[in-house]
């Protein structure tokens, strides 16, 4: 098992970045919404660095979040991830969006391109990151060419496909730590969605855009963006509710996370309650989001209620809510897996290391490629290694699976 003294975690990187800027712990703590005690514990490796904490420090030190998290992970050595070999192809394909890539091969039929887009969306839902990155470049180029070269009357439907593909590209680049590329995709998807025939693609683009806002601490701007989008997609007829309300519910869940990360308990709860009302009104089980990608349903609302407690620093509340939560098979692995990684953090806070490790194993079972690349996974494992007082074969196996480079 790794030696916890050889710790290259977020806390150490924060310490180094602070010293480079000749800033004391007192000075940094005075400029972020976290206590000096918390800063000291994070830098000493005695407390995990939450996303909100990391975002606040990065903003104060005028550095990128990835400088502090060390992402993307596994780029070299014996645990090098094959996804890094495939990523340049995706990066190149994303250079085209407002111009046709001028392919040297025939463009496939509408039916074929739509079927391939549906398959790519499924790869995203199941968090099959490597296969998705291998699939996206050629498909993105072909659909982009189709969108630009088709007759004017048919362009919009191809831009709709392109919005879905870009959403998949955004997900995989963000979750594998290529935050610079995912922020570029946010601009692309916003431009493409405006040319789509489906107004709900604009909501999809707005949801994606708030990812960067969560990362850089622009929580209020993110809330304003989603509030504006809610007004734009509000259904005017009963027959529109079936497609529009699930998307609206997903936006409320996202707003709840933005508010929780900002420390605004009241606003977070208001959005989560509204999402709950929508889920109850729609009835039935959770669904995977369908054509509009954003999964929604009662279990997803409950998962976000747990996540909100974690964002607000309420580990006990999160663990309590999670005890009664049952994850339905209909919930996409990408969402269910993320829940268990989040939950492991709260369990760690509450002095439940065995439960935290069990949650990480559950996340690994559901979405292994996603789990391996999340900063929270590594932060929780680092803390478990540091505090474990006896040999633990399951912990050692998990560390070895991650690669031991914590």
Q: What is the pLDDT of residues 173-200, one digit of tens each?
A: 999 999 999 999 999 999 999 999 898 9
- Reported pTM: 0.92
Whether residue 402 is contained in a domain is answered as yes
CA distance 62 to 48: 21
CA distance between the termini of the chain: 11
Q: Which residues pair with 304 in a beta bridge?
A: none
Domain limits at 54? 1-70
Specify if 63 maps to a domain: yes
Residue 57 lies in a domain: yes
For residues 62 and 58, give the distance between their C-alpha atoms in angstroms, rounded to a whole number.
Answer: 6
- Asked if the structure places residue 235 within a domain, the reply is no
Angle at alpha carbon of residue 275, lines to 271 and 280, rounded to 5°? 145
pLDDT in tens, 49-79: 988 999 999 999 999 899 999 888 877 766 6
State the average pLDDT over residues 365-385: 93
The answer to whether position 31 is within a domain reads yes
User: CA-to-CA distance for 82 and 90, rounded, in angstroms?
Assistant: 14
Last residue of a domain, one of 44, 70, 96: 70
CA 129 to each of CA 137, 334, 368: distance values in angstroms, whole numbers, following the listed order? 13, 10, 9
Question: What is the phi/psi pair of residue 296, to 5°?
Answer: -160, 155
Per-position DSSP letters for 23-70, written without gaps between them = --HHHHHHHSSS-HHHHHHHHTTSS---HHHHHHHHHHTT--HHHHH-
In a domain, 26, yes or no: yes
Please tell me the total count of domains within the chain. Answer: 2
14 vs 403 pLDDT, higher one? 14
The whole-number pLDDT of residue 78 equals: 65
Q: Which residues pair with 287 in a beta bridge?
A: 296
- Please say if the pLDDT value at position 4 is more than 60: no
The Cα angle at residue 388 between residues 383 and 390, in degrees rounded to 5: 160
* Residue keyed to tokens 């809330």: 223
For residue 394, the domain's CATH number is 1.25.40
**What single string gives the DSSP state of each residue in 191-239?**
HHHTTSS-THHHHHHHHHHHHHHHHHT-HHHHHHHHHHHHHHH--SSGG
Distance between CA 148 and CA 172 in Å, rounded? 25
Q: Any bridge partners for residue 296, and if so which?
A: 287
* 6 φψ region: left (φ > 0), alpha (ψ -120 to 50), beta (else): beta
Which band of pLDDT confidence, cut at 50, 70 and 90, is reported for residue 144?
A: very high
- Asked if the structure places residue 342 within a domain, the reply is yes
State the Cα–Cα distance between residues 188 and 98, nearest whole angstrom: 9
Q: Tokens 């492991």 identify what position?
A: 344
β-partners of residue 357 are none
Confirm whether 336 is domain-assigned: yes
Q: What is the CA radius of gyration of the chain?
A: 21
Q: Whole-number mean pLDDT of the chain?
A: 91
Last residue in a domain, options 10, 35, 70: 70
The rounded distance, in Å, linking the Cα atoms of 293 and 138 is: 21
Helix (H, G, I), strand (E, B) or coil at 100: coil
Instruction: Using a pLDDT cut of 70, give the percent of the chain over it.
Output: 96
CA-to-CA distance for 183 and 161, rounded, in angstroms?
A: 20
Checking if the pLDDT of 116 tops 90, the result is yes
Q: How many CB atoms lie within 10 A of CB 266?
A: 7
For position 55, which CATH number holds?
1.10.260.40
Q: What is the pLDDT of residue 240?
A: 76
Residue 45 is predicted with a pLDDT of 86
Whether pLDDT at 99 is above 90: no
């Amino acid at each position: 098992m790794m030696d916890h003294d050889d710790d290259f975690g977020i806390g150490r990187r924060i310490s180094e970045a602070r010293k480079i800027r000749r800033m004391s712990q007192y000075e940094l703590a005075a400029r972020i919404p976290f206590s000096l005690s918390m800063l000291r514990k994070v830098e000493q490796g005695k407390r995990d660095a939450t996303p909100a904490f990391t975002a606040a420090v990065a903003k104060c030190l005028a550095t990128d979040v990835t400088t502090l998290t060390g992402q993307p992970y596994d780029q070299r050595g014996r645990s090098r991830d094959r996804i890094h070999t495939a990523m340049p192809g995706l990066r190149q394909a994303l250079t085209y969006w407002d111009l046709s890539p001028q392919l040297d091969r025939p463009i496939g039929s509408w039916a074929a391109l739509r079927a391939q887009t549906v398959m790519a969306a499924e790869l995203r839902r199941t968090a099959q990151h490597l296969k998705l990155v291998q699939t996206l470049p050629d498909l993105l180029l072909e659909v982009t060419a189709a969108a630009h070269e088709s007759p004017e009357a048919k362009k919009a439907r191809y831009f709709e496909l392109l919005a879905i593909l870009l959403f998949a590209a955004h997900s995989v680049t963000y979750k594998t730590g290529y935050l610079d590329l995912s922020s570029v995709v946010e601009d692309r998807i916003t431009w493409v969605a405006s040319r789509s025939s489906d107004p709900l693609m604009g909501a999809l683009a707005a949801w994606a855009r708030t990812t960067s806002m969560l990362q850089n601490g622009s929580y209020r701007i993110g809330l304003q963006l989603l509030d504006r989008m809610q007004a734009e997609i509000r259904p005017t007829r009963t027959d529109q509710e079936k497609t529009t309300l699930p998307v609206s519910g997903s936006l409320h869940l996202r707003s709840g996370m933005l508010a929780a990360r900002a420390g605004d308990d009241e606003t977070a709860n208001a959005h989560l309650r509204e999402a709950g009302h929508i889920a109850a009104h729609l009835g039935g089980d959770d669904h995977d989001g369908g054509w509009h990608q954003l999964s929604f349903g009662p279990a997803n609302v409950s998962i976000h209620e747990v996540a909100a407690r974690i964002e607000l620093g309420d580990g006990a509340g999160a663990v309590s809510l999670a005890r009664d939560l049952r994850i339905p098979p209909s919930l996409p692995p990408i969402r269910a897996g993320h829940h268990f990684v989040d939950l492991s953090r709260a369990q760690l806070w509450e002095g439940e290391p065995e439960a935290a490790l069990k949650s990480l194993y559950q996340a690994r079972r559901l979405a292994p490629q996603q789990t391996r690349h999340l900063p929270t996974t590594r932060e929780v494992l680092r803390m478990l290694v540091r505090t474990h007082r006896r040999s633990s074969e399951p912990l050692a196996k998990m560390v070895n699976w991650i690669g031991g480079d914590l």
